[in-house]
Structure formats: structure tokens, C-alpha cells
Structure 1
Amino acid sequence: MQANEDVDLRVRRRLRELRGRLGLTLEDVATRAGIDVSTLSRLESGKRRLALDHLPRLAAALSVSTDELLGATPTIDPRVHAASHTKHLITFWPLTRQGGAGGLQAFKIRISARRRTPPDELPTHEGQEWLYVLSGRLQLILADQHYVIEPGEAVEFSTWTPHWFGAVDGPVEAITLFGPHGERVHLKP
């Protein structure tokens, strides 16, 4: 019941606000909406519950959309607008905004065909990493184990394990997920 009361309260406030902004009387809005003045007065004062069929008529009477009358929060642009970063022959395209769900960040990556030789000491850091190979063949080294990951295969591993990944015989495209610790290691200078 709380959600309905919140909607009623929000609409009552918006009705008064919009009516006042437009300089309209209760009678003006009631006439435009085809609602009895006493009904509109009781709606505004909270003495009568809002009915769904009132919304479109009241919105039209006030020259606003039903969403505007409901005081709905504007929809934000869902697209992720962020620049790519390249580090150690890997280009990262962000697929999530900073501070995504649970701190996880998703990236599409492209590993250069030139990234074929692991460093002498494999890095470790806090966290988990997940990779899904879209195209190309990925070379993955976990401690002393070597794997070739084919398109359509996914891997998940603890980043406390010494690890490295690169290309086998051409560029690799993949989707990767990692938390803030992995982001610092992969993206920060």
C-alpha cells in the first residue's frame, strides 16, 4: 500500500505545482479534464484516492505527459560513454560505467598479435578474473600451466595465481570482468 500512497502524494503535489505554474484554477483544470471540481479538490487534498483513469485526463488538462504528472524521474542515457585504453598491447573498451555492480567492471578487449611473450615474472593481484574469447586463440598461463583458449570458451581464475595472457597466432578479442583490484593492475599506469 505504501507505493500507492507515494504515487498519490507525488501526483497531488505535481497537480498543485503545475496548476500554480500555469495559473489555472481548480475549475479550469476540472473543466479541461472532464472531472467534477469537487473530485479534483478532493484528489489534490488527499481526501480521495487517485484512479488510473484520472491520470491521462489530468495530464492532458495540464499539457504534460502522464510521466511528468507522475513526477517520474527522467530516464538517463543507458549507453556507456568511455574512451578505450591501451596498455601492454591490450586495448580495453569499457562496457560498464565506473563503479558498476559490486565494483565489477566489464570490458571488451583486443589483444595484439604481437603480445606473445610472457614476462619473466608472472603478475599476481587480489581478485578474480573472468574471460570469454570472442575470436582468435588466447594463450593463458596460470602458474606453470599453459592453456590455449578457443573462441566460445570462458575461463575464470583467482588472480592470486601468477598469470598472464596473450595471443597464440593472431589478434584476440574477448570480454573480461574484474573488480577494482584487477582494474588497477590492467588499466592504471
Structure 2
Amino acid sequence: MAEDVERIMTGIAPTLRDLRTKRRISLTEVAGHLNVSVSTMSRLESGERAPTLDLLIPLARLYGVALDDIVKAPPTGDPRIRPHPVKRHGMIYIPLTKSGGPMQAFKMILPGGKHPAATAQTHDGYEWLYVLSGTLDLQLGNTHTAMDVGEAAEFDTRTPHLISSANEQPVELLGLFSPQGERIHITGP
């Protein structure tokens, strides 16, 4: 048991350094965000200072990862994901995978009607959608496609895209997103 705790504590410093450098954030920026000194952050990342929860929790939020990902907590044997819904632009996103993985699964609930300020977006990656209820309006470039229950679509997210309800009824859908841009293949029986 003590060896496990020692291993976990030793692994936190390099994990913090990796998370910060992958996000291209300076020690000064992180220290300012947490309202601590740069030397405190440097000692945390070098392993000279033991991390405390009052520092690890805001660091997990800043880096957009679960606290378990920072401390590399041992598996509990429970494979369930405990999603925390997020509301953005009137849509509800329910993550179905842990953040930071090569593939992100989510459920979305879109309100009925068009969002007046919504505009098509582009970003790196590849996305797959499956309509659970309602009718989805999928805009890819200048093309609009109405998708009904049971229909799926996949597309390169570098194409300007926008999803919304095709009418006044809400839409529920499942989605897979790969930030690395791997193509998701839909195969038939």
C-alpha cells in the first residue's frame, strides 16, 4: 500500500509538467492562474514539493482533465463513466468518455428551433453523429441535410459545419469525435 502511494506521488510531478507543456502554457501563466508563486509551480513539477488537493483541483480544471488523470489513480474495477452534463449555447453535452482520449463519445440534446447567433464552425478532427430522437439539420458547407431517427453521418470537421434541430422539437444524438482526425468507418451487416 505504501509503495502504491509513493509511486503515485512520484508520478505527479512529471504528469503536471507534461500537461502544461503539451498545452504550451508557461509556469508564469499557471502560477498566475492559481495565484501561487512561479517557484511553487517549479517545485511541484520537479517533485521538490508535495502536491495538495487545493493545488491539484484547480490544475485539473485548468488543464481540462480529471484529477484521477493527474494522480494516475489505480483502477477501481468500476468501468462506469460518471458524466457531468455541460450546457453550452443552449445545447446539453453529456460526455460518455474520459476527456483527453483519442476518441471522445458524447450525447447531445439540442433545443428545438434554430439558434439565431449560431454559425458554422471548423476545427481539426473527424466526427460521427447518430440521431436518437427528433430531426437534425446537419449543415456541411452550404449543404443542409435533414437526418431522422436512426440515421448516422460522418464528416471531416475542417468542413464548416453546424448542427441544430430541423424544426421546433428538440433533438437527441450520439456523437463520436476524434481530435486527431482518424476516420470513423460505419459498416453494415
Q: What TM-score do the two structures reach when normalised by structure 2?
A: 0.51
Deviations 1:9-64 (A, max 9, x none): xxxxxxxxxxxxxxxxxxxxxxxxxxxxxxxxxxxxxxxxxxxxxxxxxxxxxxxx
For residues 36-75 of structure 1, what are the structure 2 equivalents within 5 Å?
none
- State the partner residue of 2:4: none
Q: Say which SS state the counterpart of residue 138 (structure 2) adopts.
A: strand
For residues 1-189 of structure 1, what are the structure 2 equivalents within 5 Å?
76-100=77-101, 103-117=102-116, 119=118, 121-169=119-167, 170-180=169-179
Cα distance, 1:82 vs structure 2: 2.6
CA–CA distance in 2 between the matches of 1:178 and 1:162? 15
CA–CA distance in 2 between the matches of 1:92 and 1:174? 10
Distance 1:99 1:74, change over 3 A: closer
How many aligned positions are there? 107
Contact 2:126 2:179 in 1 (8 A): no
Q: What TM-score do the two structures reach when normalised by structure 1?
A: 0.51
Give 1:178's aligned amino acid: F
Give 1:179's aligned amino acid: S
Contact 2:136 2:148 in 1 (8 A): yes
How big is the alpha-carbon RMSD for the aligned residues of Structure 1 and Structure 2? 2.2
Question: After the TM superposition, which parts of structure 1 deviate over 2 Å for at least 4 consecutive aligned residues?
Answer: 114-119, 179-182
Give 2:120's aligned amino acid: L
Deviations 1:85-104 (A, max 9, x none): 0111210111112233xx11
Give 2:85's aligned amino acid: S
Q: Say which SS state the counterpart of residue 164 (structure 2) adopts.
A: strand
Q: Which runs of 5+ in 2 are unaligned?
A: 1-73, 182-189
Contact 1:130 1:178 in 2 (8 A): yes
How many percent identity over aligned positions? Answer: 43
Deviations 1:110-153 (A, max 9, x none): 0011444463x521110111100000000111111011011000
CA–CA distance in 2 between the matches of 1:123 and 1:91? 18
Distance 1:122 1:159, change over 3 A: same
Give 1:87's aligned amino acid: R
- State the partner residue of 1:45: none
Distance 1:117 1:153, change over 3 A: farther
Give 2:171's aligned amino acid: V
Distance 1:147 1:116, change over 3 A: farther
